[in-house]
Amino acid sequence: MTDQRGPKRDGDLTDEQATLLLQSFTETITEAGEIAAMLSKYVAAGGRDWETYERMLDHWARQGLKMVHAGRGALHPELVPLSAKQIEQAAGITGRDGGMREHLHQTMAAALLSTVWFVGEHHLIEAEDWPEDLPDVVLSAVRQAPGINNDPTMRNLRDTGRPRR
């Protein structure tokens, strides 16, 4: 499959933009390489504990997600602020007005929404091709997720903002 739509921008990067882009990828690739080296040493030493593998693979996946955000974010810098705006609209309240819990929920939902858009684009689904209610669905998933809401920090937060809709 090829991307039939072609490039999204014209012109060239400035020296500063090219340097920053390279720097962000270099750091992430270096960290991913360090995890791979650690995993290799663990395997060679006979390590077979699943919990250790799970931790290393989780850290490796996080580096991959950083790569997706760095690459797709550079290609479409407008999508990150757009995701925050659409999540706030779906919430019907600003994170600031809703209190710390609402702020954190909206921040996580915006990151998740931009991730969906970025991954979708990899599979040739543009951000505007997704259903209009996607921000509502993403925010609802974050607000209901036990893994998020049962976190000790989230459980101990007391919202002081206006009630959400």
DSSP labels for 94-114?
Answer: -HHHH-HHHHHHHHHHHHHHH
Distances (CA, A) of 158 to 100, 101, 102, 148, 163: 8, 7, 10, 15, 12
SS3 18: helix
Distance CA 52, CA 50 (A): 5
Nearest to 24 by CA among 72, 85, 66: 66
Q: What are the pLDDT digits (tens) for 36-86? A: 999 999 999 999 999 999 999 999 999 999 999 988 988 888 999 999 999
Angle, helices 79-91 vs 100-122, to 10°: value is: 130
pTM (predicted TM-score):
0.82
pLDDT band at 2 (very low <50, low <70, confident <90, very high): very low
Token pair of 59 as six digits:
């850290």
SS3 6: coil
Burial class of residue 5 (count of CB atoms within 10 Å of its CB; 0-12, 13-18, 19+): exposed
Contact between 111 and 118 under an 8 Å Cβ cutoff? The reply is no
Q: What are the pLDDT digits (tens) for 76-117? A: 889 999 999 999 999 999 988 999 999 999 999 999 999 999
Determine the straight-line distance between the first and last CA of the chain, rounded to whole angstroms: 43
- State the pLDDT at residue 135: 98
